[in-house]
Chain A
Amino acid sequence: MIEIADLTVRYRSDNDIYTAIKDFSLTIPSGGTCAVIGPSGCGKSTLLKVVAGLIKEYDGSVSINGQPVNPKGQTIGFMPQNYGLLPWKTVYDNVILGMKIKKSPELLDRNVIKHLMRQLGIEGLARRYPNELSGGQQQRVALARVFALQPDVLLMDEPFSALDAITREEMQDIFLKLWRRFEVSTIFVTHYVEEALYLGQKIVILSSDEGGRSQIMDNPLFGEKDIREKEEFFQMGLKLRNIIKKDWEQAWENM
């Protein structure tokens, strides 16, 4: 379970204070997913960094499974936009890196890793280096790396945005499959409305207005079979777009 209450994050530059997130609250039940959507610069990445424990100065409270965020105590899987694979490590070493850092040999179960890599179709690439792989393959390695950790929380920053449309849909399905198996509470940031609708049980629309009100909605379409081809999927996408547009116009007026 992830609980965020009255979160406010400010960035201080030399003579200016910028409010990236204001009075934001959100609860994600254990094993739930939440999509965060909004235009660039609305504080999406900031929100992820706070939950990841990368930003420590904020007002309000953020807790994971009832405990305040603590990278050393909890297992927080973070998948950055460019996958965050280390180019000097082979695929296999990249996958086990998280466990090495957590110093938890009990997680270093070769069978789990092998199975995970097979499921993701990257077992044959174990000895390759990331720059020999395609974008889709790197994405799979990054997924193997976070899921192998069996984290308390999974955070993904625009996870599939660098992929072509077809590979992206394929990766979304692979993600859902893994997520169902490991039941990891997940927050991901995206700028694709369809991605938010397909992968998010909850959808957060962060306001681009400085410190403006964000909206949180439950996604009624989540988990339905072949939902991407159905009419209500398009309708819902349109609705979401309109909400985002309205927020944008509001932000422009206030500028």
Chain B
Amino acid sequence: MGKYVGFWYIMAALFLTLLWMAVSELVALPIIPSPFKVVDNLADIFMKYIAVHSLYSLWRIAAGLILAIVIGLPLGVVMGYFPKVDRFLAPLVYLTYPIPKIALLPILMLLFGIGDSSKIVMIFLIIVFQVVVAVRDGIRSIPKETYYPLYSLGASFTDIFYEVLWPASLPKFITAVRVALATAISVLFFTETFGTQYGMGYFIMDAWLRVNYLEMYSGIVVLSLIGLLLFTIIDVIEHYSCQWQSK
């Protein structure tokens, strides 16, 4: 990350706000309120109403993400390192990967209830496949000679994991999470319109049904900020854990 990253983020935000302003002036309908009114409204209601919804959404994303890491990472490592396991598991992954996970929502809601668990499992399902495939491919692309000096010193699997497999797959793994996260947030929005009174999805849809466009836009802005926060966290983690890549 360069020195001026913050500056460019502010420029991007400024550009989007100007675009929004222009459109709202052009359309001049309540459905596109001016950004200033929205920010004003947001400052008013954030602590009162929105904060609790955003925390619920963040918790669901975090839980789904952690679950995907805990299950996807070891699976990807094993599939990448042991070709025999991959021969057996790859068809399973390839057959289930392309299924649009959102299509499974009714089934998940029947199995896990309409509460938090079905939403978390949904996010897990979206992220886990990307993690498995990215980690596996990352490990497969390590040249065989990399292992030889370690094997000839009698390295155990634990050594190989900590010294080679984990650091080699980390960048691919972080990229996979980044790509999957955007999808996860959109799908989370959708799942939160069912069976809950909390979450950004619920808040935005509720404001829409109440024809309160100011609140609806406030919710959308918060959702976008949640995304920004998560991406920033991922970037920072990548910066510190994968320094060798940026050199």
Using a CB–CB cutoff of 8 Å, the interface residues on chain A facing chain B are 49, 52-54, 70-73, 75-82, 84, 86-89, 97-98, 100-102, 128-129, 131-132, 145-146, 149, 155, 157
Q: Which residues of A contact B163 (CB under 8 A)?
A: 86, 89, 97, 100-101
Report yes or no: B146 in contact with A72, Cβ–Cβ below 8 A.
no
Which residues in chain B, 104-160, are within 8 Å of chain A measured between CB atoms?
A: 143, 145-146, 148-155, 159
CB contacts (< 8 Å) of B148 on chain A: these are: 49, 52, 54, 78, 80, 84
Q: Which 3 A-B pairs have the closest CB atoms?
A: A72-B154, A71-B154, A80-B145
Q: CB distance B145 to A101 under 8 Å? A: no
Contacting A155 at CB < 8 Å: which of B145, B152, B167? B152
Q: Give B160's nearest chain A residue, CB to CB.
A: A101
Question: CA separation between A75 and B149, bound complex, in Å?
Answer: 11
B residues lining the A interface (CB < 8 Å): 143, 145-146, 148-155, 159, 163-164, 167-168, 170, 242-244, 247
B151–A86 CB distance below 8 A: no
CB of A98 within 8 A of CB of B244, answer no
Contact A86 B153, CB 8 Å, known A52-B148, A80-B145, A129-B244? no
Q: How far is the CA of A153 from the CA of B163 in the complex (A)?
A: 23
Given A88-B167, A88-B244, does the pair A81, B145 have CB atoms closer than 8 Å?
yes
Contacts of B170 in A (CB 8 A): 88
Chain B interface main SS type: helix
Contacts A81-B145, A86-B146 given; does A52 touch B152 at CB 8 Å: yes
Q: A101-B163, A129-B247, A131-B247 are in contact. Are A80 and B149 (CB under 8 A)?
A: yes
Q: Interface residues of A: mostly helix, strand, loop or mixed? A: loop
B240: min CB distance to chain A, Å: 13
Q: How far is the CB of B110 from chain A (nearest CB, A)?
A: 45
Q: Please measure, in the bound complex, the distance between the C-alpha atom of A76 and the C-alpha atom of B164, giving whole angstroms.
A: 19
State the Cβ distance, B208 to closest chain A Cβ, in Å: 48
Chain B residue at smallest Cβ distance from A72 = B154
User: Residues of B contacting A149 with CB < 8 Å?
Assistant: 153
Q: Kindly list 20 other residue pairs between chains A and B, CB separation below 8 angstroms, not including A52-B152, A78-B148, A80-B145.
A: A53-B152, A71-B153, A73-B154, A76-B152, A77-B152, A78-B149, A78-B152, A82-B143, A84-B146, A84-B148, A87-B244, A88-B170, A88-B242, A88-B244, A101-B150, A102-B154, A129-B247, A131-B244, A131-B247, A146-B149
Instruction: Please tell me if the beta carbons of A84 and B247 are within 8 angstroms of each other in the complex.
Output: no
B164 to chain A, nearest CB (A): 7
Q: Which of A70, A98, A128 has the most CB of B within 10 A?
A: A98
Q: How many A-B residue pairs have CB under 8 A?
A: 79
Instruction: Kindly list chain B residues whose C-beta atoms are within 8 Å of the C-beta of A73.
Output: 154
Question: Cβ of A132 and Cβ of B247 under 8 Å apart?
Answer: yes
User: Smallest Cβ distance from A164 to chain B, in angstroms?
Assistant: 21
Chain A residue with Cβ nearest B162: A100
Cross-chain pairs A/B with CB under 8 angstroms, 25 sampled: A52-B151, A53-B154, A54-B148, A70-B154, A71-B154, A76-B153, A77-B152, A80-B148, A84-B149, A86-B146, A86-B163, A87-B244, A88-B170, A88-B242, A88-B244, A89-B163, A97-B163, A101-B150, A101-B154, A101-B159, A101-B163, A128-B247, A129-B244, A155-B152, A157-B145
Task: Quote the shortest CB–CB distance from A85 to chain B (angstroms).
Answer: 9
State whether A71 and B151 are in contact (beta carbons under 8 Å apart), knowing that A129-B244, A131-B247 are contacts in the complex. yes
Instruction: List residues of chain A with CB within 8 A of the CB of B153.
Output: 71, 75-78, 98, 101-102, 149
Are A86 and B164 in contact (CB-based, < 8 A)? yes
Contacts of B155 in A (CB 8 A): 101
Query: Which of B152, B168, B244 has the most chain A CB within a 10 Å cutoff?
Result: B152
**C-alpha spacing A173/B188, complex, angstroms:** 64
The CB with the most chain A CB atoms within 10 A, among B153, B163, B244, is that of B153
Q: Which residues of A contact B143 (CB under 8 A)?
A: 82
Question: In the complex, are the beta carbons of A54 and B151 less than 8 A apart?
Answer: yes
Q: Which residues of A contact B242 (CB under 8 A)?
A: 88
Question: With the chains together, A102 CA to B149 CA distance in Å?
Answer: 12
Give the distance in Å from the alpha carbon of A88 to the alpha carbon of B143 in the complex.
14
Expressed in whole angstroms, the Cα–Cα distance for A76 and B151 within the complex equals 9
B56 nearest CB across to chain A (Å):
37
Which A residues are in CB contact (< 8 Å) with B151? 52-54, 71, 78
Q: Shortest beta-carbon distance, B44 to chain A, in Å?
A: 48
Expressed in whole angstroms, the Cα–Cα distance for A87 and B246 within the complex equals 11
How far does the Cβ of B87 sit from chain A's closest Cβ, in whole Å?
Answer: 15
